[in-house]
Amino acid sequence: MLKKKILIGLVVLVMTVALVLNGCTKQKSGDDGQISNGQKEEGTSEQTDKQIKNVAIELLHGQPEEARVKTIQSIIDSFMVKNPGITVKQVPVPEDGLWTKITALMSSGQLPAMIEGSIDQMRLMYEEGVIDTEANTKAINSKGTDAFFKGALAVLKLPDKEEYIGVPVSGWVAGIWYRKDWFEEKGFSAPDTWENILKAAQTFYDPDNKKYGIVFATEVSDFTEQTFQQIALSNNAELFDGNGQPKFNSPEMKEAVQFYKDLYQYSPKGSNGVTQVKDTFVGGNAAMAMYSTYIMPSLYEQNMADKIGFAIPTKKVAASFGMTSTMTISNMVKPEEREAAVKFLAYMLEREPNIMWLHMAPGGANPVLRDIAKDEKYLSHELLKAFGETAAKVPEAFEDLRMFGFQDGKTHPKMGNITAKLVIPKALNAILVQNKDIDEEMERAQQLMEEIVNE
């Protein structure tokens, strides 16, 4: 019996969180490369479990663009050649309707064998008890956990055992994009420490000539929360204490808010969101920008790729924010269908199919596997080649993936409600844009969070 406990706040989070920092839309690609059918890769799933015969499974995903459907079909066709007893059918759904489709299928008990989606969608499905974590773990173990960047798996791991709610196949990350050419002219180091970030922001700030030291999110939106948490978590400013109570008014958090405010002095004034941040940096009007990897296509189109570097903010620790594109196996299908799904997900982690998946959205989608990040074939895409060594460095941010509310392997159950009510962005906007008192606004946010957590 399906449990009836989907939280409204978490649903709102699912519908919003993955759409903001990535620039609201996916980068389209006409990459429709082919896998050479019939040639077995080393380690392929073809060599195991010959007993699977006459099994049909479906893959539900949110990649409905024609070029992507064609590429995914090429991956599926190659898999079926190597696994003739298994038939895979893809079911593409528009991204903004994916969660609605998933919930409808869960309610009717007809969830397909495999579902592709965000971390938050995986967590919600796990809460509903419809995920086969053991099957997911088999697929991951086919590659080996050490093959993944640590953070990409950590956000999917169960807190009490070595099993996973999904299998990451790619993802996007956020950090600090900077004008490498400008930094080299000044002899500056990469803006990876608070000290280096602030120094560069001060140096390059020249508003009279429409030049800014840094640009980042300040509007009342999820984008601001996502951006700020990189600064906060780099100072180990966690949002909850050991008892699950909010601690937004902690000294570590205040220090992070103060640093965010200090940086704001050297940024464009006002409530800046996705468009303002991207346009300011891509337009050549800022030395640094805090944004996701979905800024890479725009930089490439402006012939700026070779001038750009990427860094992760670090104070006490390094902290990036991001989301993985994850596939999971449903427990609403027969055992032989789950086993077939394990083989397909294991195949998705192999070199050729994984690179094809990544090249559907070059720059935006990044490898979660260490060897793929440095693979010549992956880096051979013209967009990635243009970024040079930066393209290989960006995926390393998955090693330090951190999120508000995700602590000790668990997600705080009220984190979605806090995000949905925009408590943190409202406080930051008041402090920065409206110039209100930092202590009063942080205390106001603290009280709101306590009400949400204890209601």
In this prediction, residue 177 carries a pLDDT of 98
Amino acid symbol at 364: G
Tell whether 25 is covered by a domain.
no
- Residue 131's contacts (CB-CB under 8 Å, 6 or more residues apart) are 122, 125, 165, 166, 328, 329, 330, 331
Query: Which pLDDT score, from 0 to 100, does residue 316 have?
Result: 97
What are the backbone angles phi and psi of residue 328, rounded to the nearest 5°?
-135, 160
Could you tell me if residue 211 is inside a domain?
yes
Please state, in angstroms and rounded to a whole number, the distance separating the CA atoms of residues 350 and 359: 14
Q: What is the pLDDT of residue 285?
A: 98
pLDDT value, residue 14: 41
Task: Indicate the burial class of 331 (C-beta count within 10 angstroms; 0-12, 13-18, 19 or more).
Answer: middle
Domain end marker among 348, 367, 391: 391
User: Among the three residues 391, 416, 442, which one is the final residue of a domain in this structure?
Assistant: 391
CB 445 within 8 Å of CB 248: yes
How far apart CA 289 and CA 309 sit, in angstroms, is: 11
Whether residues 135 and 225 share a domain: the answer is no
My answer on whether 143 and 109 are in the same domain is: yes
Q: Classify residue 109 by burial, with Cβ atoms within 10 Å: 0-12, 13-18, 19+.
A: exposed
The single-letter code of the amino acid at 292 is: S
The answer as to whether 17 is a domain residue is no
pLDDT at 304: 97
Q: Are residues 308 and 382 in the same domain?
A: no
CA separation for the pair 114, 83 (Å, rounded) = 17
373 and 273 belong to one structural domain: no
Q: The tokens of 348 are what? A: 């998705």
> By 3-state DSSP, what share of the chain in percent is helix, strand and coil, each rounded to 5?
50, 15, 35
**Residue whose C-alpha is closest to residue 286's, from 206, 355, 362:** 206
Q: How far apart are CA 357 and CA 373, in angstroms?
A: 13
Q: Are residues 312 and 353 in the same domain?
A: no
**φ and ψ at 362, to 5 degrees?**
-60, 135
In this structure, what are the phi and psi dihedrals at residue 365, rounded to the nearest 5 degrees?
A: -90, 130
Give the list of residues 6+ apart from residue 117 with CB closer than 8 angstroms, or none: 61, 62, 98, 99, 102, 325, 326, 328
- Confirm whether 223 is domain-assigned: yes
Q: What residue numbers bound the domain in which 190 lies?
A: 174-321+403-454
Are residue 301 and residue 374 in the same domain, yes or no? no
Label the pairing between strands 406-407 and 410-411.
antiparallel
Full 3-state SS string of 323-376: EEEEEEEECCCCHHHHHHHHHHHHHHCCHHHHHHHHCCCECCEECCEHHHHCCH
* Both structure tokens of 209: 């000539």
Last residue of a domain, one of 391, 416, 438: 391
pLDDT per residue over 172-218, tens digit each?
Answer: 999 999 999 999 999 999 999 999 999 999 999 999 999 999 999 99
Same domain, 336 and 311: no
CA angle 402, 257, 219 (to 5 degrees): 85
> Which SS3 state, helix, strand or coil, does residue 150 take?
helix
pLDDT of res. 51 = 60
Reported as type and span, the H/E element at residue 410 is: strand 410-411
Query: Residue 277 is part of a domain; what is its CATH number?
Result: 3.40.190.10
Could you tell me the two tokens for 334? 């027969």
CA distance 307 to 396: 19
Whether 20 maps to a domain, the answer reads: no
Instruction: Please tell me the total count of domains within the chain.
Output: 2
Q: Where are the beta strands (DSSP E) in 62-134?
A: 86-92, 114-117
Is 310 in the same domain as 369?
no
- All residue ranges of the chain with pLDDT < 50 are 1-49
Identify whether residues 270 and 314 lie together within a single domain: yes
| Same domain, residue pair 111 and 59 | yes
pLDDT at residue 49, rounded to an integer: 46
Phi then psi for residue 178, to 5 deg, are -140, 155
Residue 43 lies in a domain: no
Domain annotation covers residue 32: no
- Write out the two tokens for 188: 């500056």
In a domain, 29, yes or no: no
Q: What is the pTM of this model?
A: 0.87
Give the CB-side neighbour count of residue 159, counting CA atoms within 13 A: 9
Same domain, 184 and 162: no
Q: What is the pLDDT of residue 7?
A: 39
Alpha carbon distance 352, 367 (integer Å): 12
Considering the domain architecture, whether residues 198 and 248 belong to the same structural domain is answered as: yes
pLDDT at 201: 98
